Structures are given as C-alpha cells and as structure tokens.
C-alpha cells in the first residue's frame, strides 16, 4: 500500500525570502508557499517570481511542495498558473473554490502551459457555497481518469466568518461543514486537510483541535507557524498502541484464513476483512512516516 504522510501542511509567505529558506529545514510533511492572503497586492508579482525560483532551486525533499495561487478572477491568477506549470512544484492550491468549473478551468490552463501530468491540484473549501458543492468539486478531476485533483484543504477561518459562526472549543458550529467535506473527499479518494487554528498562544486549544481533526478522519492539519509542527505531526500519526494492534489484527486474520476461517477475534473484538484493510493503512502510514524521518 502506497501512502504519503500529510500530517502537517505549513503556510509559508511567498514574499518572505527568509521564511522560504527556513522552510527547507522544517519538519513539515508539506509546505504551502503562499501567493494569496500572505502577500500584499503590490508584492504579488515579485512573490511569484521568488517562489518559482525557490521551487526550481530544489532542496525541499522529502517535503511536499504546494503553491497557493491567486484566484482566477484576480489580476494575478492566470499568470500564477502559467508560471507554476513549469516550476517543479508538487501541486497548485486553488483558493476559495466554489464550483467544479473552477477546477476544470485551472486544469486546462495548466495543461495548456505545458504542466507535467504529476502536477496536482488542491482545492481550498472556505465558503458556504464551496461546502455545499464539495462533492461536485471533489469529483471534478479524478486522478484515475487522468485528472489532477489530489485533495481538499479546509479554510475554516473564512468559512466561520461567512457563516457568522463562533470560534469555540469543540468547533461545534463547523462540524456539519467539516463532515460534508470529509465525505466528499473520501468518496472520491482525495486527501482532506483540516483548517488552521489561529490562536498561537492557545496550546491546549490547538492540541484539542488536532485530536478532534484526527478523530474525524482528516489526514492532517494546515498550520501557520513552525512551532505547531511537532504537535500536529504527533496527533495525526498512528500511536504505538494503534500500530501494535494493527499488526496483531493482520497476523490474526492471516492465521484465520490459513485455517479456513473468514473471521477471528483480537482483543475481544471481531475481526474481518474490513478491519484488516484499515489495519494495513495504519501500518503503511507508520512505515511511511518512519521512512520520511529517515530521509
């Protein structure tokens, strides 16, 4: 089973050369080099040139490198896609996606600009309309049919603003939206990344947000500061206990099959094929994280 850890995706301002240099040394599974919210209008062109040059310079592995482009209806969106097509980035993040047509248009623009087939698209879901159309967006460019869509990233700050929802522990006002996006992503085989936690001094709140996101089923969390990387990486990695249990499940099921039985009992619980599939995913993630750490 091939799997890629995406426990932590850190936003990095594209206009900040020191931040770009430092990002190459950070223990993040992925980086989102940002040309949108983090860059002032009069710095957009320079930031694009800086980010493209930085990506081409290399030195990012084993981190996944994504670049968040400006929206297509801005003065910079089309030029962002054209420049990123040949940059060598792993993916392009589309902001405030609300309709599948946005994905298809970006895909066509990248292809026309000569982008390689392995340049993926990621969609920010950060408005009520985006959430309501999440299923259509998630199915708009399937990789099994040669499409580019790799994942969804929740923009919970903008979403909460548009919903007029309170920022409160447990994120109860956002649970419906989080669930709809997870359902859409999983239905179409995409990675799904939880939104940021804005209060950098609220360590307990951040830890709870990570715990909740992992429990809901998110692959990882988007982050705004390097000091949160360790907590996110720990929260979205399988625990030692989970890995040990998964290995026992796999071994017990194999023994049961060898004895001509389809089910068995592990730790007092019934184990059948669906549990083995999940156990194999846990073990594959554990091994992928270990390989990444070794790299």
pLDDT, tens digit, 9 for 90 and up, residues 125-168: 999 999 999 999 999 999 999 999 999 999 999 999 999 999 88
- pLDDT at residue 159, as a whole number: 97
**Whether the predicted pLDDT of 215 surpasses 70:** yes
Q: Express each pLDDT in 171-198 by its tens digit.
A: 999 999 999 999 999 999 999 999 999 9
Other CB atoms within 10 Å distance of the CB of residue 104: 16
| Tokens matching residue 140 | 């708009």
Look at the chain and count its residues: 295
Centre a 10 Å sphere on the Cβ of residue 189 and count the other Cβ atoms it contains: 14
pLDDT digits (tens, 9 = 90+) for 99-134: 999 999 999 999 999 999 999 999 999 999 999 999
Query: What does DSSP assign to residue 41?
Result: G
């Amino acid at each position: 089973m091939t799997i890629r850890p995406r426990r932590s995706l850190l936003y990095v301002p594209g206009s900040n050369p020191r931040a770009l240099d430092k990002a190459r040394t950070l223990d993040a599974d992925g980086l989102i080099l940002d040309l949108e919210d983090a860059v002032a209008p009069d710095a957009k062109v320079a930031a694009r040139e800086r980010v493209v040059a930085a990506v081409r310079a290399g030195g990012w592995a084993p981190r996944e490198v994504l670049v968040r482009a400006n929206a297509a209806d801005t003065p910079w969106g089309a030029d962002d896609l054209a420049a990123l097509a040949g940059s060598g980035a792993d993916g392009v993040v589309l902001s405030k996606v609300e309709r599948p047509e946005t994905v298809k248009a970006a895909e066509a623009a990248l292809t026309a600009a000569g982008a390689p087939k392995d340049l993926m698209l990621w969609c920010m879901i950060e408005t009520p309309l985006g959430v309501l159309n999440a299923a259509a967006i998630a199915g708009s460019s399937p990789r099994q049919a040669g499409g580019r869509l790799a994942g969804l990233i929740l923009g919970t700050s903008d979403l909460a603003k548009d919903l007029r929802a309170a920022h409160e522990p447990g994120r109860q006002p956002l649970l419906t939206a989080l669930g709809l996006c997870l359902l859409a992503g999983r239905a179409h085989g995409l990675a799904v990344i939880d939104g940021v936690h804005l209060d950098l001094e609220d360590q307990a709140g951040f830890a709870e947000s990570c715990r909740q996101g992992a429990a809901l089923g998110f692959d990882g969390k988007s982050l705004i500061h390097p000091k949160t990387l360790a907590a996110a990486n720990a929260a979205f990695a399988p625990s030692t206990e989970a890995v040990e249990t998964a290995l026992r499940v796999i071994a017990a099921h194999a023994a049961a099959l060898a004895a001509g039985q389809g089910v068995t009992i592990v730790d007092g619980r019934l184990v059948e094929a669906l549990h083995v599939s999940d156990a194999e995913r846990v073990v594959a993630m554990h091994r992928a994280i270990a390989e990444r750490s070794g790299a």
